[in-house]
Chains A and B, each alone.
Chain A
Amino acid sequence: QKEVEQDPGPLSVPEGAIVSLNCTYSNSAFQYFMWYRQYSRKGPELLMYTYSSGNKEDGRFTAQVDKSSKYISLFIRDSQPSDSATYLCAMHRAGNQFYFGTGTSLTVIP
């Protein structure tokens, strides 16, 4: 079983839609959860960093963690064409061992 599972998509939505991106994981020891955005031919850019269960909001982005279900989500409100990218989830326990999903490719159509 993979440590982190993420649907690769591709996901295509119209401009202004609400986007939901999700990951599941198997290791209950993970405590820190991240979402990265990666544009084509660029390095991943950190979007959200959360600790344990709960919600965190930053502008149009909301990260949600449900540790009981081992499930994390990223919601994008009022999606824009500039949101078109690959979104990677990642997580770690205390320490330097990080685990990444395969990434979900998102296209927002004007």
Chain B
Amino acid sequence: ETGVTQTPRHLVMGMTNKKSLKCEQHLGHNAMYWYKQSAKKPLELMFVYNFKEQTENNSVPSRFSPECPNSSHLFLHLHTLQPEDSALYLCASSQGSLSVGGRNEQFFGPGTRLTVL
């Protein structure tokens, strides 16, 4: 496996379900991100982990709960979601904010297409 992988690729869940999204990066990066992508909107940053520490939480509802057990893995735990949470959820990784020279380009996974019924 190379780059950034995400599972599952598609997920349909009811509003009372609990599910988790998984992301794994094979790039040796130190920062990982969760984004939400909805039609005709910019990517919305949800969470950032830098060296396994959460550094950003952009006012995301508590029904989304991230977990970063190590610098290669990132999870997004979902519970009691709403239909408006249906979107493409993208994981990304980068060298991290302490990278030499400030270079910090992000590499994205293929995304999980989430539908909440």
Contact = CB atoms under 8 A, between A and B. Distances in A.
Contacts of A8: 40
B111 to A, nearest CB: 5
Interface of B: 4, 6, 31, 33, 40-43, 45, 48, 50, 55-56, 90, 94, 96-97, 102-111, 113
A96 B43 contact: no
Contact of A46 (B48, B90, B107, B113): B107
Contacts, number: 67
B103 A32 contact: yes
Contacts of A46: 105-108
CB-based closest 5 A-B pairs: A43-B108, A100-B43, A94-B102, A100-B42, A95-B97
Contacts of A97: 45, 48, 56
Contact of A96 (B40, B104, B107): B104
A94 B105 CA distance: 11
